[in-house]
Amino acid sequence: MLPIQSKLPDVGTTIFTVMSSLAAELKAINLGQGFPDFQMNEELISLVDEAMENGFNQYVPMQGYMPLRETIAEKIHSLYNTNIDPDSQVTITPGGTYAIYTALTTVLQPGDEVIVFEPAYDSYIPNIVINNAKPVLINLKFPEYKIDWDEVRKKINSKTRMIMLNSPHNPTGNVLRAEDIEELRAVVKDTNIFILSDEVYEHLIFDNVPHQSMLRYPDLLERSFVCFSFGKIYHCTGWKLGYCITTQELTKEFRKVHQFNCFSCHSPSQVALSKYLKNKEAYLSLGNFMQEKRDYFRQLMSATKFIPLPSYGSYFQIYKYGEIGDESDTDFAIRITKEYGVATIPVSVFYQSGKDDKVVRFCFAKKKETLEKAVERLLKIGR
């Protein structure tokens, strides 16, 4: 075997693959990995079929299908009153994860520091490390999972190149508030710090809380890469299609990286989305749709011994399991998959230190019957 020096020596297989494989092997109900188990919108499926029939089966431009970029710019204007130039500020990418990786690769030089809040979505840190930059870790304050801005101020120095934000947040379901934006503004003012804003759950926000997109704030957008995922919001995670919005200058650099990695993305779905995205109701109703699932799941779970933490957005709800288990969260997640047939995600995997607050993450983006069946099983724990 030829020797290879690993670029990511400390990285194993992502927890999502581990728990989904275990769930499949044991035929458990999978409330672990974040993906819906219900059918996506039929109209959107028909629009893809139609695009293929109409011959949209060849490469679109490297930046993305222009009518889709135009519709995205219109949508941003209608949501946030911000003007985005579709030609020079929007790039279609194969998913949100790729957009994030590309943005980091565009900006980071060896030795740069990147502020990452933990628990953190598991692609962030390897994406920083592979660019020879350094993640600077800050814990969100448990159990509210709020940002400690004093800690951020302490960690910032001349090497700080970027701050990574994610709202609505995976795995906690917390969201940024107007106060956080004020703190962020103060922290980055007069610095060369970029912002990576992971907004893949943008419409999946509950209780009428406004989504604090960087797109709302021109002064922050100036230094931001804002990343989105069609898969997450339109219930088609397997499509792996998303986009990145940034300034004209940063877009130029972003596309230098993008064009030699993927060049262009799946054409028929871009054609379909360019039409479907014009339907405002379709995206404005997503928050209520998912909130109903959160509320239904929480109502069912109230009969179990799990204790919920708040979830204001995303697909996810965190629960404490202290009353029914004293093992580590990973052992607990494995045990309930094996013994009760319900897979979850242990939250400690989202910390480099393995910090274990004895909580697990459930994905409630599922059919009612799936949630009911899962909770029926969970009710048996500790009885």
Choosing from 30, 33, 102, 166, the residue that interacts with ligand GLN (CB under 6 A) is: 33
- Minimum distance from residue 315 beta carbon to ligand PMP (Å): 8
Q: Which amino acid is at 246?
A: T
Choose one: 48-56, 147-155, 226-234, 361-369; the region binding ligand PMP (CB under 6 A): 226-234
Q: In the complex with ligand GLN, which residue's Cβ is closer, 29 or 220?
A: 29
The listed partner (ligand GLN, ligand PMP, none) that binds 63, CB under 5 to 8 Å by sort, is none
Task: Determine which residue in the list 232, 266, 293, 366 makes contact with ligand PMP, applying CB under 6 A.
Answer: 232
173 binds ligand PMP (CB under 6 A): no
With 0-12 / 13-18 / 19 or more C-beta atoms within 10 angstroms meaning exposed / middle / buried, residue 312 is buried
Least separation in angstroms between residue 131's CB and ligand PMP is 17
Query: Exposed/middle/buried for 154, CB within 10 Å: 0-12, 13-18, 19+?
Result: exposed
> What is the rounded CA–CA span in Å between residue 330 and residue 374?
19
16 binds ligand GLN (CB under 6 A): yes
**How far apart are CB 262 and ligand GLN at their closest, in Å?**
17
Residue 33 binding target from ligand GLN, ligand PMP, none, CB below 5 to 8 Å by type: ligand GLN
97 touches ligand PMP by CB under 6 A:
yes
Strand partners, 317: 362
Alpha helices for the chain (secondary structure H): 15-26, 42-53, 66-80, 86-89, 96-107, 124-129, 149-155, 178-188, 218-221, 230-233, 248-259, 267-276, 280-284, 286-301, 329-340, 368-378
Examine residue 172 and tell whether it contacts ligand GLN (CB under 6 A). no
Q: Does 237 bind ligand PMP (CB under 6 A)?
A: yes
Rounded to 5 degrees, what are φ and ψ at 51?
-60, -40
Residue in 232, 216, 227 with CA at minimum distance from that of residue 184? 216
Find where tokens 């951020």 sit.
152
* Residue of 18, 30, 34, 269 that binds ligand GLN (CB under 6 A): 34
Joined together, the tokens standing for residue 346 give 């242990």
Q: CB of residue 122 vs ligand GLN: minimum separation in angstroms?
A: 7
- 3-state secondary structure (DSSP) of residue 96: helix
Residues that bind ligand PMP (CB under 6 A): 34, 95-97, 121, 166, 170, 198, 200, 229, 231-232, 237, 240, 242
Q: Site residues (CB under 6 A) for ligand GLN?
A: 14, 16, 33-34, 170
